[in-house]
Amino acid sequence: MDEFIESQNQTPPGSNAPEMTVSELANALKRTVEDTYPFVRVRGELGRVIVAKSGHVYFDIKDEGATLNSVMWKGQAGKLPFKPEEGLEVVAEGRLSTYPGRSNYQLIAERMRPAGAGALMALLEERRKKLTAEGLFAPERKKPIPYLPSVIGVVTSPTGAVIRDILHRVRERFPVHVIIWPALVQGEKAAAEVAAGIRGFNALAPGGPIPRPDVIIVARGGGSIEDLWPFNEEIVVRAAADSVIPLISAVGHETDTTLIDYASDRRAPTPTGAAEMAVPVRTDLIATVLNLGGRAARRLTGQLEKRRLELRSTAGRFPKLDALLQRPRQRLDLASNRFGGALGKMIARKRTLFEARAGRLQPAALRRDTSRKRVEAERLAARLGPAMGRRMKAMRDAFQSQARVLETLSYERILGRGFALVTGKDGHLVRSAVSISEGDALKLRFVDGEVAAQAGQGGPVPPRPPASSAPDAPRPRIRRAKRGSDSDTGDLF
User: What pLDDT is stored for residue 472 in this prediction?
Assistant: 47
Domain membership of residue 348 (yes or no) is no
Question: In the prediction, which pLDDT does 467 show?
Answer: 45
Q: Are 248 and 265 in contact (CB under 8 A)?
A: yes
Is residue 31 included in any domain, yes or no? yes
Of 97, 116, 135, the residue that ends a domain is 116
Residue 257 lies in a domain: yes
CA 284 vs. chain centroid, Å, equals 33
Kindly report the number of other CB atoms within 10 A of residue 487's CB atom. Answer: 12
Query: Does any domain span residue 187?
Result: yes
Look at residue 76 and tell me if it is in a domain: yes
Choose the final residue of a domain: 69, 99, 116: 116
Here the CATH number for the domain that contains residue 92 is 2.40.50.140
Give the pLDDT of residue 487. Answer: 40
Alpha carbon 437 to chain centroid, angstroms: 90
Mean pLDDT, consecutive 10-residue stretches, the chain (493 aa), reads 50 67 87 89 88 90 89 86 79 89 88 73 84 93 93 93 93 93 90 95 93 95 84 94 95 87 93 92 87 91 91 80 79 76 80 79 74 84 80 88 80 78 82 82 84 71 48 42 41 40
pLDDT for the residue 134: 93
**158 and 234 share a domain?**
yes
Q: Are residues 108 and 156 both part of a single domain?
A: no
| Other C-beta atoms lying within 10 Å of the C-beta of residue 376 | 10
Full DSSP string of 418-429: T--EEE-TTS-B
**Number of domains comprising the chain:** 3
Is residue 107 domain-shared with residue 218, that is, in the same domain?
no
Q: Judge if 217 and 157 occupy the same domain.
A: yes
88 plus 160 within the same structural domain: no
pLDDT for the residue numbered 3: 54
On whether residue 332 sits in a domain, the answer given is no
Predicted pLDDT of residue 195 = 95
Residue 380: inside a domain, yes or no? no
Q: Which long-range contacts (CB under 8 A, 24 or more apart) does 277-281 make?
A: 277/145, 277/248, 278/145, 278/149, 278/152, 278/170, 278/215, 278/217, 278/248, 279/148, 279/149, 279/152, 279/170, 279/173, 279/174, 279/176, 280/147, 280/148, 280/173, 280/174, 281/173, 281/174
Q: What is the pLDDT of residue 441?
A: 85
Query: What per-residue confidence (pLDDT) applies to 360?
Result: 66
Q: Are residues 73 and 194 in the same domain?
A: no
Q: Are residues 59 and 106 in the same domain?
A: yes
Can you give the CATH number for the domain in which 224 is found?
Answer: 3.40.50.261
Do 189 and 252 sit in the same domain of this protein?
yes
Residues 280 and 164 placed together within one structural domain of the fold? yes
Cα–Cα distance, 112 to 41 (Å, whole number)? 9
Instruction: Give the C-alpha separation, 2 to 9, whole Å.
Output: 11
In the sheet that holds 449-454, the strands lie side by side as 421-423, 441-446, 449-454
- Together in a domain, 106 and 36: yes
Report yes or no: 222 and 252 within 8 Å, Cβ to Cβ: yes
Write down the pTM of the prediction. Answer: 0.46
- What is the reported pLDDT for 215? 96
Range of the domain at 251: 146-284
Co-location of 179 and 256 in the same domain: yes
How far, rounded to the nearest angstrom, does the alpha carbon of residue 182 sit from its chain's CA centroid?
A: 39
pLDDT of residue 489: 40
How far separated are the first and last CA of the chain, in Å rounded? Answer: 205
Is residue 166 in some structural domain?
yes
pLDDT, residue 136, reads 92
- Does 108 share its domain with 166? no
What does the chain come to in residues? 493
Domain end call among 77, 97, 116 = 116
